[in-house]
Amino acid sequence: MTRTILPLVALLLCAGFAIGADEAADTPAPVTVTVAKVLQLGPVPLPLPAFHDADENGVTLEALLASRSLDTATLRPRDGQRVALAGGDTEAWRERDTPVSWQAGGDDAREMWLAFYLRGDRWQEGNLLIPAPEDVHVQAWLNGEKIALENVHADEAAKERKGQLKLPTGTGLVLIRAVASADLEDAWSLTPRVELDAEAPAGTLTATTESDRPADINLILDAPRLGGAAISPDGSLAAIRLSEYGADGKRRSWLEIRRVKDGSLVTTWRGSDAGGLQWSPDGSRLSFTLSSGDATDLWLFDLATGETTTLLRGIADMGGYQWAPDGTFVVYSVRVEAEEDDRKVKRVENPADRQGWYRNRSYLVQAAVPSGVSRRLTAGPMSPGSWNISPDSRRLLFFVGDQDLEGGRPYFSSELWELDLSTLAVTQILTDRWINGAEYAPDQSTLLLRGSPSAFDGLGRNLPDGVQANDYGGQLYLYDRELGDATPLTMDLRPDVNGYWWSPDDGLVYALCTDTQFRNLYRCDPEKADWHRVDTGVEFTDQFDLARKGRVAVARGSGATTPWQVHAVDLKKNKPRLLLDPGADTWSDVEFGDVTYWQAPLPDGEMLDGRIMWPVNYDASKTYPVIVYYYGGTSPVTVDFGGRYPKNVWTGQGYIVYVPEPSGATGYGQEFAARHVNDWGKRTAWEVIESTKAFLAEHPSADPERVGCIGASYGGFLTMYVTTQTDMFAGAVSHAGISSISSYWGEGLWGYAYGARALANAFPWQDRDLYIEQSALFHADKINTPLLLVHGDSDTNVPVGESDQLFTALKLLGREVEYVQIQGQDHHILDHEQRVVWNDTILAFFARTLKDRPDWWNAMYPE
């Protein structure tokens, strides 16, 4: 008889669960979670392969168990969902009441899968128990990871498999696989169950067959995501780069070309880590770069022939590139690494020279299309940046700059030059340390410049006399080349400009702007400066590409509860249309809480903008713990999806999230933004405290005894400082916070440069009130709030010493403080696995301090 095995039940739980075998003795009776319903697939035949009984390289029943018939890492079973089997048949998942019966008999071995979901409101440990006869092979998985099962009970009639579970808050998928040979003689039934500690409160964990789930950190990190999007010159096609993490934790990228009119797929390239997507000006070719080590190739894909050819090959340390508008050449940059001193010493020339890249230089190269024949365009001690080719392809704008301490803020020079591409002669157009971007008008008589309000001796200021502008704010200027005069174009526009384009088709200027909590696209007739918003289909637009013809664009963006999408925008009708939603399947069963945009009344009569993100399945009759998240620096906390501080994950853990927007952020007008300069908590800390009080007073479902706060970088500074001003928070988290403004100013590689704007004309030797009185370190004795400090130990922006010194102070004072360093990480935690641990550390700390549930923290960081 041909023997076959039947995998019975596969158990897969949600993100973050860790499994191991453990058996406790002499303990009180555990709390049992009944699994009343499961999803069942099969039983289906599992024949052994041909020649399985050969003497050499034969296959036994047990050996088949090493391979899985289903991909446990990606399964998300639902009632009625059909699965294509390897033999050509299909089978559907069906909801069944337990116990699930298994009938003996048949000519072949068979396998069956069972699935159910566990929903828990807290982190907790437990055991999975699966009853099955000894000669039935049982396997189980948790989130794609195999669960270690052991046999328990000596009585053969009551044989069970047991595996340890560690269950975080949220929804987990459990899969069980069972395989039985045709020799199985007796029928049997199965009711899986989960046992929790005897002290576990009733109802904290339930079993269901519904796949609905809140967002978690693995979804945020691993779901398909959008890279760049580039529209063809005629607006008919869009090239889109996408990526996602595989089961091995490695990111995989691919390219797609889609028709703009309906989003249909033209072609795709998998396994390509291509970057720098650009269309040739005539739209016949798509260019992209592929890098290996320090060498880069520039490729051209011909849409008509489907051929891919190399324009440039093996360019060492190649930077960005740009097509000439006439399509006859490209210009690209090359970086030159500075030589190191053989003596292993370095004489630091100026504060910027502390940066590892400062002594590197770059130059520009012109390469003919399609031959690739090249010539060098620039040389000398300065590196050209922010370069732009003229519409007639005859000239090129570029900026050069260097450290300039004598010239005053921002301690860097900025010069705009023009290169004649025929003669390589250069002409200096202007020098202004507050101008950092330039683009030609379609007729080339005027330049569109980007800079701060202080450019052109404050020409872009819209402030009372004596008020220092926030020079992180972006303004646009029209510069008449013949007259040498500048005209402000956005001085009366409240939003701040991030990106800008001058359309050759409709003659309008487009600006991508920080607009309060949102990022929106605006456009205007440059002769009238009549700005109007363009509808891009999302709350936060982070990329926009304008077709040279056809008055159409593509925009990439997201929203507070809307994952990243690409929209095509009809610029004539001001109407967006969804072009691609790459994560639609991934997010289809994910539940999000509601979002309320709310303004807090402050005691001085002002209204402070912000938003409230409500827990999933919010019930106004209950009370909830609250997380207050803020930045408080020079930019608002925008509504883009996910990010380093994924608030949808927090709401999925049962928190109300309140996001105030303290004074000093751009996007609210120049007067509001100017409050950032030399404030450092004087007003912003008061606003965080008072807006939180107003929020609690107006929302009775927010528990005032269970409120935590968190911020990072400048927001981390604000957390440290806020806790010296109030004891209203039950827990506080500071990531990469600044505890002493003076040490950050001098030691942080960007400290003095950030201070050029945020500490304008204020220095440690002359402004003790600012540098000392606004620093938490010098008021550490006032901190009574339990505080978690997290910091990348390789942070060059805010040195790790900022957390070190406050931790030391609080330890000496006997205060409740935790300190977790993320090894090998800089200011942002970018490593995939470390981001998961970092996220869990923050949530475990809040579970401990806001929910009085220390188990998760204790499991992560046992004494």
Taking CA atoms, 862 is separated from 24, 442, 733, 826, 858, in Å, by 19, 65, 20, 26, 5
Tokens 């039985």: give the residue. 180
Distance, CA of 38 to CA of 78 (rounded, Å): 10
Nearest to 624 by CA among 600, 601, 593, 646: 593
pLDDT of residue 380: 87
Size of the chain in residues: 863
Q: Tell me, what's the pLDDT at 24?
A: 44
User: Of the candidates 129, 109, 128, 7, which has an alpha carbon nearest to the alpha carbon of residue 48?
Assistant: 109
Q: Burial letters for 559-571: b for 16+ Cβ neighbours within 10 Å, e otherwise?
A: bbbbbbbbbbbbb
β-pair partners for 611:
597, 659
pLDDT of residue 72: 87
- Per-residue pLDDT, 141: 87
Among 592, 632, 593, residue whose Cα is nearest residue 609: 632
Nearest to 650 by CA among 833, 478, 845: 845
Q: Are 657 and 637 in contact (CB under 8 A)?
A: no
Q: Low-confidence residues of the chain, pLDDT below 70?
A: 1-27, 104-106, 154-158, 247, 272
pLDDT at 10: 38
Shortest CA distance to 119 belongs to which of 168, 175, 77, 192? 168
Tell me how far apart the alpha carbons of residues 83 and 39 are, in angstroms, rounded to a whole number: 13
User: Is the separation of the CB atoms in 835 and 642 below 8 Å?
Assistant: no
Rounded distance between C-alpha atoms, residue 782 and residue 713, angstroms: 21
CB 825 within 8 A of CB 835: no
One-letter-per-residue 3-state SS of 314-370: EEECEEEEEECCCCCEEEEEEEECCCCCCCCCCCCCCHHHHCCCCCCEEEEEEEECC
156 DSSP assignment: G
Report which of 760, 751, 721 is spatially closest to residue 739, judged by C-alpha positions: 721
DSSP letter (8 states) at residue 566: E
- Whole-angstrom Cα distance, residue 277 to residue 241? 8
C-beta separation of 460 from 477 below 8 A? yes
Q: What is 768-829 written as a DSSP string?
A: HHHHTTT-GGGGGGG--S-EEEEEETT-SSS-THHHHHHHHHHHHHT--EEEEEETT--SS-
CB contact at 8 A, 329 and 367: yes
User: What is the pTM (predicted TM-score) of this model?
Assistant: 0.93
Q: 3-class DSSP state for residue 107?
A: coil
- Are 282 and 232 in contact by the 8 Å Cβ rule? The answer is no
* φ and ψ of 412, to 5 deg: -140, 140
pLDDT score of 27: 55
**656 and 612 in contact (C-beta within 8 Å)?**
yes
CB 37 within 8 A of CB 218: no
